[in-house]
Amino acid sequence: MFNANWTIPDACQLVEGELHVWLVDLELCRDQFQALWKNLSPDEHYRAERYFRLADQNRFVLMRGVVRELLGRYLSVPARSLEFKETGTGKPFVVSPRFFASFNISHSQDQGIVAIAKAGTIGVDLEWMDPALDRRMLTKRCLSQREREALRALPEADKDDGFLVCWTRKEAFLKAAGMGLSLEMSLVDTALIPGQPARLLAVNGNEEYARQWFLADLPAVPDHHAAIAAEGQNWTLRCWRWTA
Ligand SMILES: CC(C)(COP(=O)(O)OP(=O)(O)OC[C@H]1O[C@@H](n2cnc3c(N)ncnc32)[C@H](O)[C@@H]1OP(=O)(O)O)[C@@H](O)C(=O)NCCC(=O)NCCS
Residue (of 135, 147, 231) closest to 189 by Cα position:
147
What does the pLDDT look like over 101-115, one tens digit per residue? 799 999 999 999 999
CA distance 82 to 134: 39
**How many Å lie between the centroid of ligand 1 and the Cα of residue 10?**
31
Check whether residue 138 and residue 191 sit in a common domain: yes
Check whether residue 86 and residue 150 sit in a common domain: no
CA distance 75 to 164: 34
Is 135 among the domain residues? yes
pTM of the model: 0.92
DSSP state of 114: E
| β-pairing verdict for 213-218 and 224-231 | antiparallel
Check whether residue 144 and residue 227 sit in a common domain: yes
Is 159 among the domain residues? yes
Is 108 among the domain residues? yes
Give the E-state strand segments of 118-176 in sequence order. Answer: 122-128
Residue 1 predicted with pLDDT over 50: no
Tally of structural domains, the chain? 2
Q: Is 23 in the pocket of ligand 1 (CB under 6 A)?
A: no
Q: Which residue has its alpha carbon closest to ligand 1 atom 39?
A: 180
> Minimum mean pLDDT among 80-94, 97-111, 204-218: which range?
97-111
Amino acid type, 158: D
Burial of 99 (0-12, 13-18, 19+ CB in 10 A): exposed
Q: Is 174 in the pocket of ligand 1 (CB under 6 A)?
A: yes
Is 240 among the domain residues? no
Check whether residue 114 and residue 142 sit in a common domain: no
Q: How confident is the model at residue 196 (pLDDT cuts 50, 70, 90)?
A: confident
Give one DSSP letter per residue of 18-30, joined into a string. EEEEEEEEHHHHG
Q: Is 143 in the pocket of ligand 1 (CB under 6 A)?
A: no
